[in-house]
Structure 1
Amino acid sequence: MTTSLAVILGGAAGAVGLVALLVFLWFCLLHKRSVSRTSETGSSDPSLQAEQGIELSLLRGGPHPSDSREARRFMLDELNLATKNFSDINLIGQGKFGEVYKGLLNDGMIVAIKRRPGAPNQELIEEVRYLSSIRHRNIVILLGYCQENNQQMLVYEYIPNGSVSSHLYGAAQISNELLEFKNRLSVALGAAKGLEHLHALNPPLLHKDFNTRNVLVDENFVAKVADAGLTNLLGRIDAAGPSSRIVADDVFLDPEFIEFGRFSNKSNVYSFGVFLLELVSGQEALKSRFSESNQSMVEWVQNYQDTSDIAAIIDPRLSTSFTDESMKELIWLMAHCVNPSSERRPAMNYVVSELDRILEKEMNLTMIMGEGTPIVTLGSQLFTASR
């Protein structure tokens, strides 16, 4: 009985072993075919193949995949080459951080480089890492930094068409040409979206030097807010505190900040209202006054009523390229933004929604009036010769 049981158990064990061997051989055959197909046709899933490559690299101690939003540390030799040793030919401006140069990197990317004297500073690196992570269509991107040879440098994306101020009343202004009302509304909407994005960050980032010079336009006249967070950066790396680094022109500054030293998101709304005023008037608000009453343009808007003569404030170059209804709504929005009381000013998200509505309304009204279907044009064609 015992012998028979042993024979039965031995036979069962042998059968199990045989089945296991067959399963193993079948698995190996399938795996070989799979490898063969991959070697002949390449991976059917390139993203999976890439992920596997990254995993192997990490397991072998290789470099981590780079984050495109990470602040880049530029070498001085690279920036010297990009600017021809910071030649005066490439000097394009002077800002709060220092001289601004145009540069061409080895990879063909055009950048704007802000440079000033300064010893290496860890806080600059930390602030740049934060600011470079802010990405939005309507904000100028900070790409990275360089600290060598007792120089501090910030490297930004280059925006080719310069500032809005230069097109309204500065060096880029072209005689007998104008920026049509719909295009000015579009620029205003883009700038408002940039500020709205900054306010939506956690914690909110307040732009402490917002003005018409710090709104740039690209080749398609898409507005981009420049120097976001630069005041905070300067406050961290310099001896002066952030509050003493509020550097906007007085005309753009919130009256409550001037009087009480309080700066808030509504302070940005006030500055944006002055920006709208310059867009509509085509003049520099700081220097422009009405001769009859000696009022500043900001005071005129703050006292605006339905009965006011809006022609007094409108850029003559706009001619008849706008509807009275949309213009009056824009001036009303402007008046709310520059209200002396911050509590009575709208939030930036409301400003964005109103500008979006006014622009859409203006497009629809001008089409009804017989201007035809809007045509998308290049930025260089937005200026239309007046007749």
Structure 2
Amino acid sequence: MSRNLAAAVGGAAGAVALVGIVILLIWFCLFHKSSVSRNSETGSSEPSQVGRHGGIELTVRDARRFEIEELFHATKNFSDKNLIGEGKFGEVYRGLLHDGMLVAIKKRHGFPSQEFVDEVHFLSSFQHRNLVTLLGYCQENNLQFLIYEYVPNGSVSSHLYGAAQQSRDKLEFKHRLSIALGAAKGLAHLHSLSPRLVHKDFKTANVLVDENFIPKVADAGLRNILGRVEIAGPSSQAAADEIFLAPVYISLDLVREFRTYSEKSDVYSFGVFLLELLSGREATESPSSDSNQNLVEWVQSKQDPGIMSGIVDERMGSNYTAEAMEEFMSLIVPCIDSSSERRPAMSYVMMEIDRIREKERNLTTVMGERTPIVTLGSQLFEAKKE
């Protein structure tokens, strides 16, 4: 009896030990497969990353670590001839890499930090046709660099009311709808990610167009690298940027005003972008000489799409249908509502623009409207008789 009991106990113990070994082997295999070392200044390649974003493992595109010598060579020692702009991060230069690839290089003074590297790896992981790709980074000699794909035809703002705008140029309504749709797709993609990414600095100047005039949203999540940004001080550029930001929330603890960001604040910014596409001018302007309101305040006070016909860009002529234009104007109003709860989701805005665009295409085809052709450079869209 005791012998049988001992055998039973021994068998049970052996089974438990065997199960334990199997569990250990399974755990080791899974851990080995999923774990990765952190990205470091050595530029090592990892397929995934676990960082500050809630401990969620993300499959990422490997951000390249550039050598500073390569960046100096690409920009001819950061020649003024290659300086193409200046933004919140710093100066922006056009560069030509050894492999013939054109890039946009953002440069600022800054001490090396692992947080900067982690954020670059995070932001560079998001690939979409309507997002400007962050290719990599460099931080040496107390300088920090961000390297993006180069988008050759500049920003939508430059074509609407900036350096590339000329009196003979015009963006047809259908093409403005296409630009709006592409930008909406870029933002909607950011909002669909897990964890979600809020742009935080969406504006017309941050929507670029490539050689085929495909819109690409730039600087997505760049404020994450810049850190928390207080409300801008007085300047013409600050005022132009300020108008794209949703109403301010007050931080009582700090007794200061700080911006808080969400998907709905991106929707507000997108509504201002649509208003500039509609009017062809900066939203900081007044709708008329006898008004002391800017375009956004004016639309918010009226809450009536019908009155917006008075600010439609005259360069579009009459090459659009009243029905599609009215629906486009009706979409702008809720986007710039002062209440975030009343603003639609970006996915809804995207679908509505797509629907309006298709309706405009179908109606104008039936009407036998002129067929636009696309050209490159500052001369955007012209039309010719079929």
| SS state at 2:368 partner | helix
Corresponding residue number in structure 2 for 1:77 = 69
Say whether 1:305 aligns with 2:304. Answer: yes
Q: Which runs of 5+ in 1 are unaligned?
A: 1-63, 236-241
Instruction: Give the CA RMSD over aligned residues.
Output: 2.4
| SS state at 2:170 partner | strand
In the alignment, is the contact (CA less than 8 A) between 1:301 and 1:331 conserved in 2?
no
Match of 1:337 among 331, 335, 357: 335
State the 1:234 CA deviation: 1.3
CA distance in 2, matches of 1:229, 1:345: 21
Q: TM-score, normalised by structure 2?
A: 0.77
Residue identity over aligned pairs, in percent, reads: 61
CA distance in 2, matches of 1:192, 1:354: 10
CA distance in 1, matches of 2:354, 2:80: 41
Output the amino acid matched with 1:339: D
CA distance in 2, matches of 1:134, 1:324: 38
CA distance in 2, matches of 1:260, 1:245: 6
| SS state at 1:358 partner | helix
| SS state at 1:252 partner | coil
In the alignment, is the contact (CA less than 8 A) between 1:256 and 1:342 conserved in 2?
no
Corresponding residue number in structure 1 for 2:29 = none
Matches within 5 A, 1:1-387: 69-235=61-227, 242=228, 244=230, 249-257=241-249, 261-302=259-300, 303-305=302-304, 308-371=306-369, 377-380=374-377, 382-384=380-382
C-alpha change, 1:210 and 1:257, in structure 2 (3 Å) is farther
Superposed CA offset, 1:305-329 (max 9, x none): 26x3443110111111211111110
CA distance in 2, matches of 1:264, 1:197: 14
Output the amino acid matched with 2:107: R
In the alignment, is the contact (CA less than 8 A) between 1:177 and 1:386 conserved in 2?
no
In the alignment, is the contact (CA less than 8 A) between 2:319 and 2:369 conserved in 1?
no
Aligned length: 316
C-alpha change, 1:369 and 1:257, in structure 2 (3 Å) is farther
State the 1:261 CA deviation: 4.7
State the 1:120 CA deviation: 1.4
Superposed CA offset, 1:6-40 (max 9, x none): xxxxxxxxxxxxxxxxxxxxxxxxxxxxxxxxxxx
Output the amino acid matched with 2:295: M
CA distance in 2, matches of 1:260, 1:163: 28
CA distance in 1, matches of 2:365, 2:225: 46
State the 1:379 CA deviation: 4.3
Q: Return 245-254 or 163-172, whichever deviates more.
A: 245-254
CA distance in 2, matches of 1:375, 1:243: 42
| SS state at 2:202 partner | coil
Superposed CA offset, 1:65-90 (max 9, x none): 98692000001111111111111111
Superposed CA offset, 1:325-348 (max 9, x none): 111100100001011111111000
Larger Rg, first or second structure (1 or 2): 1
Superposed CA offset, 1:192-240 (max 9, x none): 11110111111111111111111111111111110011101111xxxxx
State the 1:290 CA deviation: 2.5
C-alpha change, 1:126 and 1:283, in structure 2 (3 Å) is same
Q: Which runs of 5+ in 2 are unaligned?
A: 1-43, 48-59, 233-237, 251-256
CA distance in 2, matches of 1:356, 1:126: 35
Q: TM-score, normalised by structure 1?
A: 0.76
Q: Which has the higher helix share?
A: 1
